[in-house]
Amino acid sequence: MTYYRSIGAALLASAAMVTAAAACETTFRSSDTHPEGYPTVTAVEYMGELLEERSDGRLCIEVFHSAQLGEEKDTIEQTQLGVIDMNRVSLGPFNNIIEETKVFSLPYIFRSTDHMHNVVDGEIGDAILAEFENHGLVGLAYYDGGSRSFYNSQKPITSKDDIEGLKFRVMQSDVFVDMVDALGGNATPMPYGEVYSSIQTGVIDGAENNWPSFESSGHYEVAGYYTLDQHLIVPEVLVMSKAAYDKLSAEDQALVRQAAKDSVPVMREQWEAREAASEEKVRAAGVEIVEDIDKTPFIEAMVPVYEKHVTSEKLKSLVEQIQAVD
């Protein structure tokens, strides 16, 4: 009896799912490098629920997590070409494509997550999102990416001098290559998915990231030293292919934009919780954490990085505007 009842329930449930899926006139394929349950993934899934509800089931999103559609540099190109409809990525890999995004990727540009929120939630954030439209993309929203710090397999970094000679993977952006070089290390730009095995085999000594990525990627298993120098607070960004966006009516475009915006507070809440949970897991695994490092030499070392990358009047003014925000 119970058996038949549960089969009946399962059939009904799958019939309901088929009906819901069939009602979607358009399903946007959205890429993410992170695994199921990671806050960037669940945020876009939540956006999809809002969109489906508000479009009476016409517009849906399917999130392809765990880099199923590829690594970020490639998926960005595919999103520009319209092969992928949506993409949640770090802003870093856009630096070499959209100059203006560099200002949010400069080391120590944001004083805190609150400062970053105040900037991206305001006019400067909107202005940078608008730049994506000149590159085949529509910038929809910013998500949190915590603060990034160095980890490695060799030794605890207790001062800037300990970085000398260490080989770090960075995201594919010249800003980050120059950042590591300016600290005396050697930078290797590399796709995220190659970092674990590259540390394991000694191709690189380490990388840099936030607590949730350090944990979910398993990098903490092969890099047992983490130093909280917090050199970067790079926002994550959710973009849509302009090709997909332009096919929508003005009303549907507004629905997409609004659903993306409405997913932001949910993402931020989940991010905070995940940061704490990841930190706990990494600490419990016995990773040696250097917390009270003097950041002044790190900040001072960044002067040539700013000089090299903040050259146009436009970028200089953006940097000044960011610094003036509370």
Query: Which residues are near ligand BDP by CB under 6 A?
Result: 33, 72, 89-90, 145, 171, 192, 209-210, 213, 236
Min dist CB 9 to ligand BDP, Å, is 38
Kindly give the interhelix angle for 123-131 and 113-120, rounded to the nearest 10 degrees: 70
Strand partners, 151: 207, 226
β-strand pairing of 288-290 with 137-143? unpaired
Min dist CB 237 to ligand BDP, Å, is 9
Helices marked H in 24-159 — which ranges? 39-54, 72-81, 113-120, 123-131
Two tokens, residue 197: 């095995």
Min dist CB 206 to ligand BDP, Å, is 12
Query: What residue type is assigned to position 118 of the chain?
Result: N
* Residue among 209 and 227 whose Cβ is closer to ligand BDP: 209
- CA gap 297, 302 in Å, rounded: 9
301 sits in the region (left: phi over 0; alpha: psi -120 to 50; else beta) called alpha
* Residue among 55 and 210 whose Cβ is closer to ligand BDP: 210
* Residue among 33 and 241 whose Cβ is closer to ligand BDP: 33
* Residue among 89 and 157 whose Cβ is closer to ligand BDP: 89
Min dist CB 215 to ligand BDP, Å, is 11
* Residue among 116 and 255 whose Cβ is closer to ligand BDP: 116
* Kind plus residue range of the DSSP H or E element containing 297: helix 296-301
* Residue among 88 and 242 whose Cβ is closer to ligand BDP: 88
Residue with structure tokens 């730009």? Answer: 189
Q: What b/e sequence results for 162-180 when a residue is b if at least 16 CB atoms lie within 10 Å of its CB, and e otherwise?
A: bbeebbbbbbbbbbbbbbb
Q: Give me the numbers of helices (H) and strands (E) for the chain, helices first please.
A: 14, 11
* Residue among 108 and 192 whose Cβ is closer to ligand BDP: 192
Helices marked H in 132-249 — which ranges? 174-182, 195-200, 211-216, 219-222, 242-246
Cβ neighbors of 294 (< 8 A, separation 6 or more) are 159
Min dist CB 212 to ligand BDP, Å, is 7
Min dist CB 273 to ligand BDP, Å, is 16
Min dist CB 284 to ligand BDP, Å, is 21
Using CA atoms of 142, 51, 242, 175 in order, give the dihedral in degrees to the nearest 10. Answer: 20
Handedness of CA 193, 76, 93, 140 (dihedral sign): negative
* Residue among 52 and 215 whose Cβ is closer to ligand BDP: 215
Min dist CB 73 to ligand BDP, Å, is 9
Min dist CB 216 to ligand BDP, Å, is 9
* Residue among 42 and 90 whose Cβ is closer to ligand BDP: 90
What Å distances lie between residue 81 and 84, 163, 191, 244, CA to CA? 8, 39, 20, 10
